[in-house]
Amino acid sequence: MKRKGRSCDNQDAVNRGPWSAEEDQILINYVQVHGEGNWRELSKRAGLKRLGKSCRLRWLNYLKPDIKRGNISSDEEDLIIRLHSLLGNRWSLIAGRLPGRTDHEIKNYWNTYLRKKVEQNHNYNNLPGHNNIPIKLRIESPRCSKNSLGIVIDPTKSSHPVTIKSMSCTEVMMPTRTVNDFTTSWDKNPFASTPQDGHGHCSEGFLKHFDISDVLMPYEDCRFNEYACVEVPQHFGDEAYKVIDAVGETRYDNWKIDDYFPLDYDVGFSLF
DNA sequence: AACGGGTGCAACCGCAAACGA
DNA sequence: TTCGTTTGCGGTTGCACCCGT
């Protein structure tokens, strides 16, 4: 890849390379007066010998006033790690959950620092089977009054507890089973005693803890690119469900009980 | 002081989606 | 619907800086 401080190719003295303070000021002044957008035209009108694309990048990642740069806090770091494990390299989505941070900065921070840190983290890199897979999944059911069911598996707890949060569901599903064992009957699900209100609805924000080994069967190296199955009670029949990931994005609109979820960060089951 | 390898950051590239005529 | 343009995104790379030898 060629990149020089000043281009000497035929593009009529288009500046490349690092921005000067003067160029920055021109861009800031112009955007303050005329606003963002139409970057190619903006570049011309502002008298910047830069490609429009370059102006956009410079503004969005460095010059925009509400941008926070540097000093990423441990909380932010933690959030980035969890979101990355959930979303993969979808930097814009990750940045969208860190106010003031840009995808650009997060990407760089990840590539230069966090990735190594995470790779060195034994807990992350040495997940023995399912036990340490943190999962957050929500299934929307047409039978639920508020259409939601959430499951969080927290690997930081020594006993691998699972937290279930059910919000106003008329019925609670047990959503996590791995593919190689379908023998455990639904009746064993720990939600049989889910508290309900007088109208047959589960109480808002209901939480229940139980051991993950009760609900997840061991599956050899069940990590990325493996498959897991979500099992629901028989009486849910062939209805289609909506599957939403931990950040609220719809993954499947018409998920059926026999469908599988790839265990990677593109769908419902994800590290987080 | 000189050199070389490692690191971090900013800028660029290619591609695809979104937009608008 | 088509097609050109703009925008957004993620990956890659150039280069300055640091540090050890």
- The domain that contains A108 carries what CATH number? 1.10.10.60
Q: Within this chain, do residues A160 and A235 fall inside the same structural domain, yes or no?
A: yes
Edge-to-edge strands, sheet with A226-229: A177-178, A226-229, A260-263
**CA–C1' distance A115–C8 (Å)?**
24
Q: Within this chain, do residues A154 and A248 fall inside the same structural domain, yes or no?
A: yes
Q: Counting Cβ atoms within 10 Å, is residue A258 exposed (0-12), middle (13-18) or buried (19+)?
A: exposed
Residue A195: pLDDT band (50, 70, 90) is very low
Report pTM: 0.53
Which range, of A11-25, A38-52, A164-178, A246-260, averages the lowest pLDDT? A164-178
Q: Which of residues 104-133 of A touch strand B (CB under 7 A)?
A: 104-105, 108-109, 111-113, 116
Three-class SS state of A40: helix
Q: Within this chain, do residues A96 and A171 fall inside the same structural domain, yes or no?
A: no
- pLDDT computed for residue A121 by the predictor: 60
Q: Within this chain, do residues A147 and A238 fall inside the same structural domain, yes or no?
A: yes
Q: Which of residues 6-25 of A touch strand B (CB under 7 A)?
A: 15-19
Would the pLDDT of A139 be above 60? no
Q: Is A227 a domain residue?
A: yes
Q: Within this chain, do residues A161 and A83 fall inside the same structural domain, yes or no?
A: no
Between A25 and A221, whose confidence is greater? Answer: A25
Q: Is the CB of A61 under 7 A from strand B?
A: yes
Q: Is the CB of A49 under 7 A from strand B?
A: no
**CA–C1' distance A133–C6 (Å)?**
41
Q: Annotate A161-214 with DSSP letters as a single string.
A: EEEEEE-S-SS-----EETT---S-GGG-TTTT--B-TTSPBPTTEEEEEEGGG
Between A212 and A253, whose confidence is greater? Answer: A253
Split into its structural domains, chain A has a count of 3
